[in-house]
Structure 1
Amino acid sequence: MGGDSDVDTASEGVRRRPPMNPRGLLFLFVSASLVTYVDRGAIASNGVNSEGVQQDFGLSDFQDGVLASAFMVGLVIGAPVFAEATKYYDGFSCMFVGLTIWCLALLWCAVSPGYGWLVAARCMVGLGEASFINLAAPFINAVAPRESRSAWLAIFYATIPVGIALGYAYGGLVTGQLGLSWRWALAIQAIIMAPFAVVCLVQGARGVGSKLMALAAVQQAERDEGEEAMDTEVSPLVGAEEAGAPRDSAAR
């Protein structure tokens, strides 16, 4: 009994005093997500791909397709690994590791001497990204005001099409308007993402991720209790309707 009371008290404290400013967390995740999807668009853009990578390495259409989708290998492998890691380590610490891998992988892409190295680097990009996509939405849902949760999640997921579209424009801007190599287009993304990785490191040291996971667990328990209460209220009504059905049929 006492243990349950202590847990409830701690959970209530986390609920009333979020461990991180909600709008700050939304800004962090929206910005980081936007950068990751800009990369998706940039690697497929004419400036980076057709006029850059394909020409430099003499790639066939098949090789080009493999390059564009190679990140999925790392993503599929990394998603369950990072999901399991969050059971033992702070979520923000896991994201710091993942985003650091992502930044280093982009730098690896930028200096790759050949096609094989570039494909391997793109796989590592997906591995790093996996840490982020596992936790961003649950964390946003945990701290968002109840009446704004859908809107906040919509803003977060809007970064997917917006980021990819910006990536195409970004690739053309860097290689076309600025006259830089496609390698610079990838390296600049790593530089932009680095501050977000540092923020995750700081928040992880504060244990913010673990507190947000606790808050998310409390909210899920409340939803489960609400569903059970609703089922309890509805069941007698359904039973009464079913019991009354034969009498109605007989009357007719």
Structure 2
Amino acid sequence: MQITNVKHIFALLCAINVLNYIDRGIVPGAPIQFQWFIHHTLDIAADRVSIYIGLLVSVFIASYSVFICVFGYLSIRRRPFRLAAFGLILLTLSIALCGLARPMKNYYLLLVGRLLSGVGESSFQAVTPSFIDQHAPPHKRTLWLGLFGCAISAGTALGYSYGSLTAQTIGWDWGFYLTAIAMAPLAYLCYTGIPARFDLPMIQETTQPHQDVIADDMRRGSSLTISFLPELWSVMQSPLFLTATFGWAAYSFTLAGLASFGPAILIGSNTLDEKYASTAFGVIVVLAGLVGSPLGGFAVDFQCKAQESDADHRLYVVTRQMFVLVSGGIACVFGSAVMMDVPAAFLAFLFVGLVLLFMTQSAFTVCVLLSVTRSRQGFALGLSTFLLHLLGDVPSPILLGYLKDQWAPDCGTVVDEVLDSEMLNPMCSVTGKGGLQRLLFFAYGWLTMTAFFWGLAFLLGRRKLLRPQKRSMFDTAIPMMGSV
């Protein structure tokens, strides 16, 4: 079955993205059950398990980061959806492998499953944003990227609730099994259902609007035999690429920490009850994403109205939006940390802060896309993702897990001998609350580096807007070091 309508392909991509993030949310959505699993299978002290929870997240992100760069490079001259389908098949198998870890009582099997899941998902994420930016209606291009970002928020929130629900009922292993079953037919559609005209290697795009880009790439030495290092050097010469990516890495450090330990912090600090903490946190995330991601895309498109083809104007708009909104988001999330004793105020500040932060997602993607030639966009997104995870998502869960064990050692999982079930150490809310609040301040503080780097990106974007030579959307030449 061939999917000939680009809107239907977009719907397929969003559905796959939702499942990807449901898979990611299973572990942090059931912190007590996974803490007990680690304590029982590795025979380690209950106050030392958080670092192993963080390792599950970090090994996924590490493999994802390396291979999204690889798949982004391969997409220059290979069919991108074939690459994505291969990865999604691997993802389906690795999710099932994660489920097998519970009946086999093997933490390392779960660790390997998370590592392979990162490899599988990376192929999909490497090629999708560039496809959307190329094939979406011109006046809705950034809005579509924002809607794709909604799938991330929806999947993350559903993953928290889904992970918590399955862990407390049928077992978290079935949470993984059911996700794998749902992913299998979508992977098959990605392999067989995408028409060849939508599945061209980046450098072989031959539609009429992009002919000048192909010619420009060829003049710059691009070819089907191009090597990795010249491509890497070409992308790394863009100061806009570097400032945007380093800022996003700091952003990802904070959000990865919240994704890994947000529910655990809410439960341990007695801000919310264990029964609904993961669900409430997930609802806040999904609502913020559903509002922020498309609103951010709409805001960019609205500000670029009648100037959709002016790349420099669009770049100025997105860098300004990134800097202004992240500054407002920082103020709000710090307010949530101050108001931990007032659940309603905490959630309100967190919601507004996340809305502002999510409004920067599609703007950041556009910034990276406009920092390179069209044929290198997939590679640039992959390289950007590699760097942001290397500097953000990978160290964050491990470092925050270590700090949580040090600052709140009484917040591990114990067994209720009466009910014979896992529960949070009752002393956590008494002796560990201050440490958990300090952990939250530490994670939020990392966002100040995002504001710094995106402030530099805004200055670069403004400088490019004021220069006499203008670029069109189909002539996105790389701005070299010293040229902006």
TM-score, with length taken from structure 1: 0.73
Match of 1:89, SS state, is coil
Structure 1 position 186, deviation (Å) = 0.8
The separation in 2 between residues aligned to 1:146 and 1:101, in whole angstroms, is: 34
1:18-167 pair list within 5 angstroms: 20-46=4-30, 49-51=31-33, 53-58=34-39, 60-112=49-101, 113=104, 114-167=106-159
Q: Which has the larger radius of gyration?
A: 1
Contact 1:90 1:208 in 2 (8 A): no
Equivalence for 1:196: 186
Q: 1:30-87 CA deviation, whole Å, 9 max, x = no partner?
A: 11111111112222112xx422x33233161111111122211211221122122223
> Cα–Cα, structure 1 residues 111 and 227, in superposed 2: closer, same or farther, change >3 Å?
closer
The separation in 2 between residues aligned to 1:137 and 1:37, in whole angstroms, is: 16
> Cα–Cα, structure 1 residues 216 and 141, in superposed 2: closer, same or farther, change >3 Å?
farther
> Cα–Cα, structure 1 residues 71 and 211, in superposed 2: closer, same or farther, change >3 Å?
closer
Equivalence for 1:239: none
> Cα–Cα, structure 1 residues 216 and 203, in superposed 2: closer, same or farther, change >3 Å?
farther
> Cα–Cα, structure 1 residues 207 and 23, in superposed 2: closer, same or farther, change >3 Å?
closer
Match of 1:210, SS state, is coil
Contact 1:91 1:204 in 2 (8 A): no
Structure 1 position 217, deviation (Å) = 8.3
Letter in 2 for 1:93: R
Equivalence for 1:14: none
Q: 1:130-174 CA deviation, whole Å, 9 max, x = no partner?
A: 101111111111211111112111100122222211111111232
TM-score, with length taken from structure 2: 0.40
Contact 2:75 2:201 in 1 (8 A): no
The separation in 1 between residues aligned to 2:90 and 2:212, in whole angstroms, is: 31
Contact 2:26 2:172 in 1 (8 A): no
Letter in 2 for 1:22: V
Contact 1:34 1:163 in 2 (8 A): yes
The separation in 2 between residues aligned to 1:195 and 1:219, in whole angstroms, is: 35
Q: 1:89-117 CA deviation, whole Å, 9 max, x = no partner?
A: 21111001110111111011011231112
Contact 1:139 1:216 in 2 (8 A): no
The separation in 2 between residues aligned to 1:180 and 1:220, in whole angstroms, is: 56
Contact 1:95 1:132 in 2 (8 A): yes
Asked if 1:185 is matched to 2:138, the reply is no
Structure 1 position 20, deviation (Å) = 3.6
> Whose helix fraction is larger, Structure 1's or Structure 2's?
1
> Cα–Cα, structure 1 residues 67 and 227, in superposed 2: closer, same or farther, change >3 Å?
closer
Match of 2:170, SS state, is coil
Match of 1:87, SS state, is coil
> Cα–Cα, structure 1 residues 81 and 227, in superposed 2: closer, same or farther, change >3 Å?
closer
Structure 1 position 187, deviation (Å) = 1.1
Letter in 1 for 2:78: Y
The separation in 2 between residues aligned to 1:25 and 1:140, in whole angstroms, is: 10
> Cα–Cα, structure 1 residues 153 and 205, in superposed 2: closer, same or farther, change >3 Å?
closer
Contact 1:92 1:203 in 2 (8 A): no
With a CA cutoff of 8 Å and minimum separation of 6, indicate the structure with the bigger relative contact order: 1
Letter in 1 for 2:37: D
Equivalence for 1:6: none
Gaps of 5+ in 2: 43-48, 217-308, 313-463, 470-484
The separation in 2 between residues aligned to 1:88 and 1:63, in whole angstroms, is: 39
Equivalence for 2:294: none
Letter in 2 for 1:200: C
